[in-house]
Amino acid sequence: MADLTDASRDGATTLVPCAAARFAKGVWKDIPEVTAREERVRVVHGSTCRNLWAWPFDLGDLALGHVLLECLPRHNRTDGPERLPMAEDAQCHPCGVLADTTRVPLRTGTAVQEDPEPGLHVLAVRLGAPIPTAAPPSPLDAEAILRTMKRFIAEGGHWDATGSFHKAGLLDAASGDILHVVEDIGRHNCLDRLTGHCARNGMDPGGFALLVTARLTGSLYAKARRAGFGFMVSRSAVTGAALLAAQEEGVTLAGFCRPGEERLTVFHDGRGLIRR
C-alpha cells in the first residue's frame, strides 16, 4: 500500500490524446485532440464506500475531504446505519439548498491507496485529531480581491489544454497570499481536495477566503459551508439557492469577479468582509 498524502504525478499522462473531426465555418477537418484523463476513485472509510469520477492524481486530499464533507455529515458519527432515513436525508430549503450546511468538525487524517485495478483507484481514509477553529478572515477591499483573482486565474493549469477543469483556491486575506490551488474536472471535487489539504495540514478553512472559478450553486455553497468557509468569491455566477442560504447564515458571497473587466458583484456581505 502507498501513502498518497504527498502523491506525485506524471504530467505526460494527465491528458488523453485522440483523433477528432472538427466542423468550423462550414468545413470539416480531421485534427489531433486531447481530453482530460478521468477515472474511477473508490473512497473507503469504515463501512462507508463512495465511488467518484475524478482527475486521477493527488488523490489523497480528494479522498480525505470527501469523507469529511460527504460521508460524516450524512451518517451517525458513531456506529449506526449507513444512511439516514430518506425523509431526513433529502431535506431542502424551499428553493433547493441542501438543508445540511452545518459545519463539519474537521479532523486531520491520511488516505492510503489499496491494491488498485486498471482505471480504478481505491483509497482508505483514516481520521485523526480534531482541528481547532480559527478566527474569521480579515476584511479585503474590492481592488485587492480583483488583484488576487487575477493571480488565481493567471496561474497555469489544465484548463488551458482541455477546457475541462475547475479551480479552487485558499486565500489568506491578512497576507494576500494564495496558499493552495487545486484543480479537478468536477467543481465539487475541487472543494473536497481543498478541504482535504486543510485537514491534512491541521488548518481550519473558516480562517480563509475561498476562491472558485465555478458557479456558486446551492450544492457547492452547501459543501463550502460544511467545510467552514464563510467568505466565498467566484469568477462566475451566484445562484438564488446560494444567495438565500447566505442571507440566512450571514455569509459573505461575491460573484462575477472579473479582473479583466475591473468588476465584481457582492451578493451578500453578512460578515462585513468586503470593504467599500
Are 96 and 241 in contact, with CB atoms under 8 Å apart?
yes
Give residue-wise pLDDT tens across range 185-239: 999 999 999 999 999 999 999 999 999 999 999 999 999 999 999 999 999 999 9
Classify domain 140-275 at the CATH class level: alpha beta
- What is the CB neighbour count within 10 angstroms for residue 73? 18
How high does pLDDT run on average in the chain? 86
Half-sphere exposure of 270 (CA within 13 A, CB side): 16
**For the packed helices 240-249 and 218-227, what is the interaxial angle rounded to 10 degrees?**
30
pLDDT digits (tens, 9 = 90+) for 165-180: 999 999 999 999 999 9
Radius of gyration of the chain, Cα coordinates, nearest whole angstrom: 19
Distances (CA, A) of 160 to 6, 154, 243: 25, 11, 30
- Pick the more confident residue, 170 or 4: 170
Q: In the chain, what are the domain boundaries?
A: 140-275
Partner residues linked to 263 by β-bridges: 258
The identity of residue 121, as a single letter, is H
Quote the pLDDT of residue 126. 95
Residue pair 211/191 in contact by the 8 Å Cβ criterion: no
Distance CA 123, CA 103 (A): 24
Residue the block writes with cell 502523491? 7
Residue type present at position 225: R
